[in-house]
Amino acid sequence: MGARDHCLLRVVSDAERTPRSTKRGRVTPDATSLKPEQLTQVVIRFAGDSGDGMQLTGDRFTDVSAAFGNDLATMPNYPAEIRAPAGTIAGVSSFQVQISDHDILTPGDLPSVLVAMNPAALSANIGELAPGGTLLVNSDAFEQRNLDKAGYQASPLEDGSLAAFRVIQVPMTSMTLEATKELGVKPRDAERSKNFFALGLLSWLYTRPVEPTLAWIAKQFAKRELVLGANLAAFKAGYNFGDTAELWEHPYEIAPARLEPGTYRQITGNLATAYGLVAAGQLSKLPVTYASYPITPASDILHELSKHKNFGVRTLQAEDEIAAIGVAIGAAFAGHLAVTGTSGPGVDLKSEAMGLAISLELPLVIVDVQRGGPSTGLPTKTEQADLLLAMYGRHGEAPMPIVAASTPSDCFDAAIEAARIALKYRTPVLLLTDGYLANGAEPWRLPEITDLPDISVSFQTERNHGDEFWPYLRDPETLARPWALPGTPGLMHRIGGIEKQDGTGNVNYDPINHETMVHLRAAKVAGISNDIPLVDVDDPDGADLLVLGWGSTWGVALQAVRQARAGGEKVAHAHLRHLNPFPANLGDVLRSYTKVLVPEMNLGQLSRLVRAEYLVDARSLTKVQGLPFRASEIEAAILEMI
C-alpha cells in the first residue's frame, strides 16, 4: 500500500496555489486619536538578508513583548548558509512572531505586518502577507543592484504591484547613517545598525517598553563602544521617527494576556530541552553526561548544557555522532544519566549503537531535533519525518520508547519523561523535538520544583541469585534488569551486544533463548503503556471526526479545531506525547470515531502506525515544506472531511 492511499489530503505550496484575489486600495486605520489603538493580537514578520540581524531583531521584540506580559509564539526561518550571497533570495532570513492579549497556540498563519529590509526579503515573503496588511520597507535597499538580485524587472515600490497592502517606505539605511554619523562609526559599520532602527520603529508602533532593549544593547555590546553607541542611536532614531513622522495616526497596543497566574519566562525548545535534562539529573539524583557532535538544529542543547557544570553536568563534544552515543553508553554503564543529542543524520549514524543500548538494557536518552530530510535535506527547517526512523530504524527486533514534545516549553517536561522511562526501564529512549520547537519561543509558566516527579533510581548492591550476580535477572513488574555499577564489590559482570542468556547474561546462541529474549525486550517496552497517561480527548460536542496530532502540531491542530468549532462544526482533538508504546486506550479512542485526521509534517508516518496497529481508517494531512502547518490548512482539511 503506497503512502498515497491514506494521504488523501496534502497541503499545496504557494507556488501551486492560484493567485488569490486582492483587495485594492489603501487600508486606513479607523481611529484618529494619538492614543494607542488596542489590538487583540498582531502577527509580525521581520525579513531581511542573513547579515541584517533579523533573528536578533525578532528575538528582542519577542523578549520585550514577553516581559510586557503578552502571550506569544515565534517562528524563526533562516537559510542553512551562514552568509548566503548578500541580497539574494537564498540569503533571506525571517522571524515571525504573534503577540496577543489572550492565549494563543501558534505564531500565526499569515503576518499582518511585514518588515522587509531589501527587495529579496520582500519577494520571498510578500506572498504570505495578509491582504490589507502593512508592509514596512527599507526603501534605501531598493536600488537597481538589489532589485536585479531579487529578480525584479521594476521596483515593486513603484509599479503598483503592492497596491493590496499598506506600504510604508522608510529610508532606514540613510536615517541610521545620519543618526550615527556623530559617533565616528565608519559608514559601512554604521549601516549594520539598521536592524535596531527597525526595532525602534516597531517598538514605537506597538508601544513596547523601551528600557529593556536599551539595557540589553548596553550589556550585549559593552565591550564594543562604537557598536554600542551606533545601535543605541539607531534604536532611538527609529523610535523617534515613528513618534514624529506621522506615518501612522497612532501607535497600537496589545494588552498583557490574561494567562494562568504564575511566574513566566520566554523559552525556546532547545533551551527547554537542556533545562529538562538538567532537571532530570536533579530529580534522579544522578550526574548528567551529555555527549554530542555539533549538528543543526540541535547544537544549542550542547551549548547550553556546557554552561551548567555546577549541576554536575558533564558535556563532551565527541569526534563524531557514533562516538557521542558510545560515550553516553559508557557513562550509563558507569551510573550516569546519559544523553546524546542530534538531528536526523546523526540518528542514522547512531542506530547501531542504539541497538547496543537496547541489548545492554542501559538507560539512555537520545534527543532527535528533527529537520527536513533525507540526507542533509533542509538543515535549518522543520519536519516530523523521523518518526518511523525512531520506531524502526535499527536492525533486528529493536524496540525503543519514543516521547515527543508538543511545544517549546513542553520540551522541558518531555525531557524529564524520557529520562524517567529510560531510568525506570533501563532502556534507551528517543526524545523527538523538531526545528520549529527548537528555535520557536513561547512564554513558559515556570513549574514549582516540588511538583516535578521523583525519578530517582536504586542501584544493585547485593548478589541477586544465591552467591551469584545475574545482570539480566529482571524486575517481574517492569522487566527492567538490575543496574550494578563498576566499583561495587562482588557484582562484577560482563555485558555485550551478543545475545545473552536470560537471567545470567552469559553469551548464548540457543534458538529458544534468543526468541525468549526478543519477546522479553519487546514486552518490556510494550509494558510501559501501563505507566503513561491515557490519551485525553477534547470533544465537547460529540464529534464524528477526530484530529489526532503528535509532536509540534499540537498548537496548530488545536487552533484549527477551535476555528472549525467557531464555524459551528463538531470536531474532536487528541494529541500523542508517547509514540511507543501508544497510550493503552488509543485503539478504543480511534475506533470510537468514524473519521480520523492526522496532520503531520511527513508523508503519513503516524497515520501508517495507527492504521497498522489498530486497523482504523486514519487519514493523513501531509506537509513537507520545511515549515509548520498553518491553522487554516488543517481547518480546510477538517471541513473537507466533515
Segment 474-493, which members bind another protein (CB under 8 A)?
485-493
Min CB(165)–another protein separation in Å: 34
Min CB(231)–another protein separation in Å: 19
- The stretch among 99-107, 154-162, 185-193, 323-331 that binds another protein (CB under 8 A) is 323-331
Q: Are 152 and 123 within 8 A, CB to CB?
A: yes
CA–centroid distance for 350 within its chain: 22
CA distances in angstroms from 579 to 356, 459, 484, 602, listed in the order given: 21, 28, 30, 15
Min CB(57)–another protein separation in Å: 17
Q: Are 273 and 431 within 8 A, CB to CB?
A: yes
Q: Are 371 and 382 within 8 A, CB to CB?
A: yes
| CA count, 13 A, side-chain hemisphere, 172 | 33
Min CB(485)–another protein separation in Å: 8
- The stretch among 12-20, 121-129, 312-320, 418-426 that binds another protein (CB under 8 A) is 312-320
Q: Considering the rule CB under 8 A, would residue 290 count as an interface residue with another protein?
A: no
Residue 160 vs 489, nearer CB to another protein: 489
Min CB(327)–another protein separation in Å: 4
Q: Considering the rule CB under 8 A, would residue 336 count as an interface residue with another protein?
A: yes
Written as nine digits, the cell of 331 is 557513562
Residue 241 vs 444, nearer CB to another protein: 444
Min CB(68)–another protein separation in Å: 8
Q: Considering the rule CB under 8 A, would residue 462 count as an interface residue with another protein?
A: no
What's the CA gap between 325 and 293, in Å, rounded?
Answer: 9
What's the CA gap between 56 and 16, in Å, rounded?
Answer: 32
Between CA 166 and CA 175, with CA 172 as vertex, the angle to 5 degrees is: 130
- The stretch among 44-52, 104-112, 255-263, 458-466 that binds another protein (CB under 8 A) is 255-263
Q: What would the DSSP string read from start to end of 179-211?
A: HHGGGT--HHHHHTTHHHHHHHHHHHHTT--SH
Question: 408 to 447, contacts with another protein by CB under 8 A?
Answer: 412, 445-447
Which of 54, 202, 237, 353: binder of another protein (CB under 8 A)? Answer: 353
Closest CA to 233 of 278, 200, 271: 200
Helix (H, G, I), strand (E, B) or coil at 389: helix
Residues in Cβ contact with 129 at an 8 Å cutoff, skipping those fewer than 6 apart: 45, 110, 111, 112, 114, 135, 165
Q: Considering the rule CB under 8 A, would residue 545 count as an interface residue with another protein?
A: no
Sign of CA dihedral 584, 587, 590, 592: negative
Closest CA to 559 of 641, 642, 630: 630
Residue 356 vs 571, nearer CB to another protein: 356
Min CB(325)–another protein separation in Å: 8
Please give the helix or strand (H or E) that residue 56 lies within, else none. helix 54-68
Question: 170 to 229, contacts with another protein by CB under 8 A?
Answer: 212
Which of 14, 225, 352, 515: binder of another protein (CB under 8 A)? Answer: 352
Q: Considering the rule CB under 8 A, would residue 333 count as an interface residue with another protein?
A: yes
What's the CA gap between 245 and 265, in Å, rounded?
Answer: 34
Residue 346 vs 583, nearer CB to another protein: 346
Q: Are 138 and 118 within 8 A, CB to CB?
A: yes
Min CB(583)–another protein separation in Å: 28
Q: Considering the rule CB under 8 A, would residue 322 count as an interface residue with another protein?
A: yes
Which of 221, 252, 311, 614: binder of another protein (CB under 8 A)? Answer: 311
Residue 47 pairs with which residues in a beta bridge? 94, 116
Q: Please give the DSSP secondary-structure letter assigned to residue 261.
A: S
What's the CA gap between 444 and 270, in Å, rounded?
Answer: 13
Q: Which amino acid is at 496?
A: G
> Cis peptide before 581, with omega less than 30 degrees from 0?
yes
- The stretch among 110-118, 271-279, 544-552, 581-589 that binds another protein (CB under 8 A) is 271-279
Q: Considering the rule CB under 8 A, would residue 526 count as an interface residue with another protein?
A: no
Which of 186, 309, 465, 519: binder of another protein (CB under 8 A)? Answer: 309
- The stretch among 128-136, 331-339, 586-594, 630-638 that binds another protein (CB under 8 A) is 331-339
Residue 352 vs 613, nearer CB to another protein: 352
Question: 492 to 521, contacts with another protein by CB under 8 A?
Answer: 492-498, 506-507
Q: Considering the rule CB under 8 A, would residue 289 count as an interface residue with another protein?
A: yes
Q: Considering the rule CB under 8 A, would residue 61 count as an interface residue with another protein?
A: no
Q: Are 391 and 403 within 8 A, CB to CB?
A: no
Min CB(259)–another protein separation in Å: 5
Which of 204, 264, 293, 425: binder of another protein (CB under 8 A)? Answer: 264
Size of the site for another protein (CB under 8 A): 74
Residue 218 vs 446, nearer CB to another protein: 446
